[in-house]
Amino acid sequence: MDNDDPIEVRVGTFFVVMGAGVFLLFVMSDVADKVDFDYFFISMILMAIGYYFRRTKAPPPPSGRFSWFKGFWGKTRWGRKGGGGGGEAKDKKG
């Protein structure tokens, strides 16, 4: 097992998965017409604890797969010079 995540992130993942399982129990109790909201509240608590631990995980580095698209989109969308004057004229007083 080659996992470089810190122990807090792994514990957070465990709580999120357990919360999803308990939420599934809540859904099953609803399907059986014997709704038990304790499952729902327990699942929300477990997911909140899991999110609290998992939020410390750093985002993955960009892969660069769509760098050409970002460059193209930036040139066509935001790279225009001159013309229009959009909101600039509205801001000036006088």
Condensed to tens digits (0 to 9), the pLDDT of residues 59-80 reads 777 777 777 777 776 666 665 5
Sequence ranges of the domains in the chain: 10-54
State the residue for tokens 């709580």: 15
Provide, rounded to the nearest whole percent, the portion of the chain with pLDDT above 70. 73
**Cα–Cα distance for residue pair 94/83, rounded to 1 Å:** 21
Q: How far is CA 31 from CA 26, 27, 36, in A?
A: 9, 6, 11
**Cα–Cα distance between 36 and 25 in angstroms, integer?**
9
Q: What percent of the chain has pLDDT over 90?
A: 40
Q: What is the pTM of this model?
A: 0.60
